[in-house]
């Protein structure tokens, strides 16, 4: 893809924060193979890639302008940016490009397995061929398999688009008929439409063999998580930090071993943590990950939208360390991501025994 020289160069970003370079994690920990379970393809696009896509489609936007769009302090501001970036993914080769970039980023983080969420609801809204986009994505993913990175996919609907649109996402998964599509999920604005409206959609997803995911308790209350479990049969919860406000729900999550996919930097950048804690100035050290984990709730630490939230998996583990979690606890959390991955028990063992990738982490 032609780059607009001087327009789409690497963004002049400051380090994530001053502690990023510090030795919060041991070499022993950094050598571990990692899995990531909550990760959106669209949110992994670095500003320079978005700039190049914009140039391809005649949309004026320099890398610095994209970077400005990647700064927000509330959830709806983030959704607006997500929509804008998604609008620049127009052809199958754009999705393949995004996947190739993401795969390289994951390898550099020692990630050996990831479940990548695709906003199929947005593809359908834009009248794109989901089959053609997915075919290009899978072809790009195959090249990473030989390099020690296995990728599975989650077909995601947009909650505010409604139940009929969500059903079309499930039907698209059925048409694609690929073993690499392991789950159906719903993201977007969890306060827009009640969970019960999506019952039939989740029944259908289950009937065609997909696991059931949903974003809940991110900006919504604990009742959103409870309904996702009781009404929709959700097997893992995206975010779910609202659980900290409901001790009986915390008990339920621990007893039923339902994991929360925890994405700390995302919760800071979208204002979700501030909202859940009722603290406008909430800092990463106040994130409830340690309390949720020590209550016995399974957690999977993830980046959500790494480029849009200026993060990566290593940074998330560093954040967890700053929250007061000990390295032995971080190792347990790493193991949990494999335990709750949608792969066979045999594959879980193989993945965790993966030889350390030669990566930037060494
Ligand atoms: Zn998400």
Are 148 and 112 contacting, i.e. CB atoms less than 8 angstroms apart? yes
Q: Partners of 261 in the beta sheet?
A: 238, 300
Q: 182-213: buried (b, 16+ CB within 10 Å) or exposed (e) per residue?
A: bbbbbbbbbeebebeebeebbebbbeeebbbb
Name the stretches of the chain with pLDDT < 50.
Answer: 1-5, 14-21, 357-362
List of residues 6+ apart from 273 with CB closer than 8 A: 241, 264, 267, 282, 286, 287
What pLDDT is attached to residue 238?
98
Q: In whole angstroms, what is the distance from residue 357 CA to residue 362 CA?
A: 9
Residues lining ligand 1 (ion), CB within 5 A? 304
**Cα 265 to ligand 1 centre (Å):** 12
Tokens of 250: 């915390």
Helix (H) or strand (E) holding 118: strand 111-118
**Cα 92 to ligand 1 centre (Å):** 22
Domains of the chain: 27-352 (3.20.20.140)
**Cα 305 to ligand 1 centre (Å):** 7
**Cα 302 to ligand 1 centre (Å):** 9
Residues annotated catalytic, as ranges:
218
What pLDDT is attached to residue 19?
45
- Nearest-Å Rg of the Cα atoms of the chain is 19
DSSP letters, 62-110, are -HHHHHHHT--SSHHHHHHHHHHHHTT--SHHHHHHHHHHHHHHHHHTT
**Cα 2 to ligand 1 centre (Å):** 30
List of residues 6+ apart from 31 with CB closer than 8 A: 110, 356, 361, 362
Tokens of 73: 């302090």
In the three-class reduction of DSSP (H, G, I as helix; E, B as strand; rest coil), residue 167 is classed as helix
List of residues 6+ apart from 119 with CB closer than 8 A: 40, 41, 42, 86, 156, 158, 187
Are 261 and 36 contacting, i.e. CB atoms less than 8 angstroms apart? no
pTM of the model: 0.93
276-330 confidence digits (pLDDT tens): 999 999 999 999 999 999 999 999 999 999 999 999 999 999 999 999 999 999 9
What pLDDT is attached to residue 123?
97
Beta-carbon-side half-sphere exposure of residue 240 (alpha carbons within 13 Å): 34
What pLDDT is attached to residue 355?
52
In the three-class reduction of DSSP (H, G, I as helix; E, B as strand; rest coil), residue 152 is classed as strand
């Amino acid at each position: 893809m032609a780059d607009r020289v001087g327009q789409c160069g690497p963004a002049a970003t400051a380090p994530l924060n001053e502690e990023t370079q510090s030795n919060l994690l041991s070499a022993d920990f950094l050598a571990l193979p990692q899995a990531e379970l909550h990760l959106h393809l669209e949110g992994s696009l670095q500003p320079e890639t978005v700039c190049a896509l914009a140039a391809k489609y005649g949309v004026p936007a320099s890398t610095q302008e994209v970077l400005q769009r990647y700064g927000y302090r509330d959830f709806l501001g983030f959704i607006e940016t997500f929509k804008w970036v998604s609008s620049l993914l127009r052809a199958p080769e754009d999705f393949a490009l995004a996947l190739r970039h993401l795969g390289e980023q994951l390898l550099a983080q020692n990630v050996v397995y990831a479940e990548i969420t695709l906003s199929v609801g947005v593809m359908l809204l834009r009248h794109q061929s989901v089959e053609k986009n997915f075919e290009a994505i899978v072809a790009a993913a195959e090249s990473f398999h030989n390099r020690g990175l296995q990728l599975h996919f989650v077909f995601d609907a947009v909650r505010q688009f409604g139940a009929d649109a969500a059903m079309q996402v499930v039907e698209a998964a059925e048409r694609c008929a690929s073993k690499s599509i392991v789950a159906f999920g719903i993201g977007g604005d969890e306060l827009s439409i009640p969970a019960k409206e999506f019952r039939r959609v989740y029944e259908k997803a289950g009937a065609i063999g997909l696991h059931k995911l949903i974003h809940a308790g991110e900006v919504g209350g604990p009742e959103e998580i409870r309904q996702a479990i009781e009404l929709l049969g959700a097997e893992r919860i995206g975010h779910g930090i609202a659980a900290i406000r409901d001790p009986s729900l915390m008990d339920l999550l621990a007893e039923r071993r339902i994991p929360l996919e925890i994405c700390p930097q995302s919760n800071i950048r979208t204002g979700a943590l501030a909202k859940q804690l009722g603290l406008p100035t909430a800092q990463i050290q106040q994130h409830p990950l340690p309390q949720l984990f020590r209550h016995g709730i399974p957690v999977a630490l993830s980046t959500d939208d790494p480029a849009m939230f200026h993060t990566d998996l290593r940074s998330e583990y560093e954040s967890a360390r700053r929250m007061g979690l000990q390295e032995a606890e971080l190792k347990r959390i790493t193991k949990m991501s494999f335990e709750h991955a949608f792969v066979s028990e045999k594959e879980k063992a193989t993945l965790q025994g993966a030889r350390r990738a030669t990566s930037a982490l060494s």
